[in-house]
Chain A
Amino acid sequence: ETVMTQSPTSMSTSIGERVTLNCKASQSVGINVDWYQQTPGQSPKLLIYGASNRHTGVPDRFTGSGFGRDFTLTISNVEAEDLAVYYCLQYGSIPYTFGAGTKLELK
């Protein structure tokens, strides 16, 4: 099983700042990584697919990058609506596995 390790577990930020969330795979998964955002009480929403492709309607302040084992999600100019938990998902091998999530909070 491919383990996805997200860091940090949580981070505090201020509105307007730039933050970087990390996801490391226990083995290479190529570009087979998606990022999902989950706000409290809501279902997860797709942000990034194939490591770096922004889903339709996702603001361009969200940027994904990475290949192989190391992946990042960068949020530029954080807005209040971005406060959520972010999960990476690898679909390079069965079972598909999510990271434990990074909770983005207000400082």
Chain B
Amino acid sequence: QVTLKESGPGILQPSQTLSLTCTFSGFSLSTYGMGVGWIRQPSGKGLEWLANIWWDDDKYYNPSLKNRLTISKDTSNNQAFLKITNVDTADTATYYCARIVLPGYNLYVMDAWGQGASVTVSS
């Protein structure tokens, strides 16, 4: 059974760095074709893809967040991380991590999601 769980600070102030952890079980990020993605959702709004990290440590970022994002992983401890620097109230959202698998050529699925971590940026 695949499970993921996000954790974060809950509340932080503008200009601080947001550090999120995704702790997962049921798969390994060292397995060929496996990945973890981060997606966020402001309350009452839609979904925004942020970043992916793959089994081979390849990384992809949403350019709209410029150079504020850093994704990383700890394969030994089954964790993935996302840092967002210089946060603003616009970063207030629920942050999800999801397992990514590649079921075939040119196919990409986020087939298991965590419950989400609520993050509020406020002074």
Contact = CB atoms under 8 A, between A and B. Distances in A.
A44 B113 contact: yes
A98 B37 CA distance: 14
B49 A95 contact: yes
Interface residues of A, number: 25
Contacts of B114: 43
Interface in B33-69: 39, 46-49, 60-64
Interface residues of B, number: 23
B78 interface: no
Contacts, number: 62
Interface stretch (A11-19, A20-28, A29-37, A75-83): A29-37
B6 to A, nearest CB: 10
A101 B116 contact: no
A45 B39 CA distance: 13
A1 B62 CA distance: 10
Interface of A (DSSP majority class): loop
Given A49-B109, A98-B48, 18 more contacts: A32-B106, A43-B96, A43-B113, A43-B115, A44-B113, A45-B113, A46-B109, A46-B110, A50-B106, A53-B107, A55-B109, A55-B111, A87-B46, A89-B47, A89-B110, A95-B61, A95-B63, A98-B49
7 contacts: A36-B47, A43-B116, A46-B109, A50-B107, A94-B63, A96-B49, A98-B49
Interface of A: 1, 30-32, 34, 36, 43-46, 49-50, 53, 55, 87, 89, 91, 94-101
